[in-house]
Amino acid sequence: MKTKNLILTIIALLCVGALPAEAAKKSITGTVTCDGKGIAGVVVTDGINMTKTDAKGTYALPTKVSDPHCQFVHISIPSGYEVERIGNAPQFYKRVNPKAKKQSFDFKLTKVDQSVYTVLALADHHITDTYARRADHRSVARYKNEVVPFVKEHAATYKHPVYMVALGDMTQTSSRPGWKGREGGYSFKDYMRDTDVNLPIFNAIGNHDHNHAPKGEMFNDETVYLSRADFHREIGPEYYSFNIGREHYVVVDNAFVITKDSGPTTDPNATKGYWLRLCSYQHNWLAQDIAALDKSKIDRIVVVAHCGLFGYSGKKMQMDLEKMLDYFKGYEVLALIGHHHSDHTVFKKDWNGKPLYQFYHPSAAGIAWYNYNNREGSPAAITNYTFQDGKFTRTVTPYGTNTGLKYRVYDNRNHKWNYPITERTGSKQKRSDEVAEATSEDKPAVLVNFWGAYTCKFTESTGGKGKTTKRCFDLNFRDWYWDAFAKSEAGELPVGQRLYKAGWQRPNRSYHIWRYVPADPDATIKAVAKDAMGNIVAEVELHAK
């Protein structure tokens, strides 16, 4: 371990070990109880300082209540317990009064069997108000009338505890109240009210959930908390942890806003946009949080964040990634990520001696409510993670017009598309470019879209070995998009349904779409797709002719 990180760990261990023996000298005190009995060893923090409850469940913190970085006192909910809820908001935190020198906060827990449990992940809601000129003006109605009932009904199918994590961009900065004098808008308060799913919801903050810096100003480590003002006021702390079963969850804000919510950068000298990294206060807290864990009780660390730690290709994307992951050394890591509006898996088989999985999640809004699909062909969906016996499974569950759909496959017999599938199909962003290059010699092929898949193996009934190509375009979304775009340009669609020249909406190649050109065109082709954990995601028979 590097010298700097070793020093941080030692300091963290000393901080965590400080029990409230001299509570009278502390500014924040309280208890953590279950059925009236104190719970020992519960981690409590104000975002800077950290301690654990003693044998009686009491704690004390030397919080500087006037410090704006200490707006909350929060516990790391221990495994096997749940905290009280107000609506869908788990009350794991209390707001600090910056003017009161002595304050006391108590937390009440309820015992829960978490030997088996499920987490539902929802990403990139982008709920805006009725004043938006584009299709997202329908977002409030569709979210309330379609997404929320679907999540609620789906959660009810489980017979074990279910929790929900929101992976950021629940709202849009320019559509929240107060933006340039806007009186209307869709606030975090509206979001929490409308997300009536009867589940504990743990929220991560996305780049579009931040406030912008005042004109001509830049946020830094000491002032970046101001970019979280709306989130703090109506949701709570932006970085915190909790435990469920044998997993330790850390929720972080890795969209460090310099000036505004658009324009991601990894340039340390950038003067606008936002950095992909944690602020120094999160690093201080995270080092202490992980040092406080009992390794014998934890199977893995689950990172809940908006922006990716790694890019699609597996290369580092977060600027301070090595420093952050060094805290997790010795643990398996599972990162749940939003932001990219796509389903994608990054798998590191041996990261510091343990597996590391990063999952990007499809947007619940599709391409911002125009369509029930994301630009790389994954459906607008919720994603289910079920944990049991030290293992976990992952399933993407679509809603809307894709409800019940497990995959899309295209061949030339039982799964025909609007045109023949050949060795060129799905290779171009526009169908017209494929047609322009097509020849009569093009070989027949099959195309498969298996969201949630990491690998796909094709076998032919006659034993031949054909050619597999990864990273193709989904025909369903690609063809819909360019047809809708052409009608939009021609003014043939109502204003609220017209597509605009937004690059983030255009069809994109997918890592979960494969094209296979068989050696024997007459053979029956079997496609078997697996996820990064080795579970079969889909299995289907296809025919190129």
Q: How many domains does the chain have?
A: 3
In the prediction, which pLDDT does 137 show?
65
Regarding whether 140 and 67 lie in a shared domain, the answer is: no
In tens, the pLDDT along 301-323 reads 999 999 999 999 999 999 999 99
Domain that residue 84 falls in: 3-108
Regarding whether 217 and 323 lie in a shared domain, the answer is: yes
Regarding whether 178 and 251 lie in a shared domain, the answer is: yes
Confidence band (pLDDT; 50, 70, 90) for 133? low
In tens, the pLDDT along 199-225 reads 999 999 999 999 999 999 999 999 999
Cα–Cα distance measured from residue 304 to residue 121, given in angstroms and rounded to the nearest whole number: 10
Q: What is the mean pLDDT of residues 235-245?
A: 98
**Which ranges of 156-258 would DSSP assign to H, the alpha helix?**
188-194, 229-234
Contact 117, 160 (CB under 8 A): yes
In the prediction, which pLDDT does 17 show?
45
Regarding whether 267 and 238 lie in a shared domain, the answer is: yes
- Decide if pLDDT at 21 tops 90: no
Rg of the chain over Cα atoms, rounded to whole angstroms, equals 25
Domain boundary among 108, 128, 153: 108
Regarding whether 197 and 314 lie in a shared domain, the answer is: yes
Regarding whether 503 and 518 lie in a shared domain, the answer is: yes
Prediction pTM value: 0.93
Confidence band (pLDDT; 50, 70, 90) for 128? confident
Cα–Cα distance measured from residue 180 to residue 257, given in angstroms and rounded to the nearest whole number: 18
Regarding whether 371 and 328 lie in a shared domain, the answer is: yes
- Mean pLDDT across the chain, nearest whole number? 93
DSSP string across 173-199: GGGSTTGGG-SS---HHHHHHH---SS
Q: What is the mean pLDDT of residues 281-301?
A: 97
CATH number assigned to the domain comprising residue 271: 3.60.21.10
Regarding whether 428 and 325 lie in a shared domain, the answer is: no
In the prediction, which pLDDT does 108 show?
98
Confidence band (pLDDT; 50, 70, 90) for 498? confident
- Decide if pLDDT at 545 tops 90: yes
Find how far residue 444's CA is from the centre of its chain. Answer: 38
Regarding whether 150 and 28 lie in a shared domain, the answer is: no
Regarding whether 380 and 237 lie in a shared domain, the answer is: yes
In the prediction, which pLDDT does 519 show?
98
In tens, the pLDDT along 38-95 reads 999 999 999 999 999 999 999 999 999 999 999 999 999 999 999 999 999 999 999 9
Residue tagged 């992976």 (tokens):
167
Cα–Cα distance measured from residue 262 to residue 274, given in angstroms and rounded to the nearest whole number: 7
